[in-house]
Amino acid sequence: AQSVTQLGSHVSVSEGALVLLRCNYSSSVPPYLFWYVQYPNQGLQLLLKYTSAATLVKGINGFEAEFKKSETSFHLTKPSAHMSDAAEYFCAVSDGFMDSNYQLIWGAGTKLIIKP
């Protein structure tokens, strides 16, 4: 069975510092991987996705994630944090059947806190 683990329910970084949000998955087939963001008082928004093309995926707002099969990881990074990045971030995996990706398996989420 697929599963997703996000390390750290809360991550705090200073403005301008590197952002690293960790996501590890388990899947018996090549996965499709996603990062979603939920800004305060807003719905979930797709940040980026990995669908078996390039292993380094660039998303919106300067975020990127690297698929590492050997480590079963899909960590999200951003070189320099902005105050506007404060939000909750969710990692999700599907079994690669894009037509049914409403059956995504979700991580529990990581709240990113930006210190001035």
Is 4 a binder of another protein (CB under 8 A)? yes
Give the residue, chosen from 12, 26, 45, 52, that forms a contact with another protein under the rule CB under 8 A. Answer: 45
For another protein, give the closer residue by CB, 5 or 77: 5
Site for another protein in 13-42 (CB under 8 A): 34, 36, 38, 41-42
Quick one: DSSP state of residue 16? Answer: T
Is 84 a binder of another protein (CB under 8 A)? no
Strand 10-14 to strand 110-115: parallel, antiparallel, or no bridges (unpaired)? parallel
Report the C-alpha gap between 92 and 112 in whole angstroms: 17
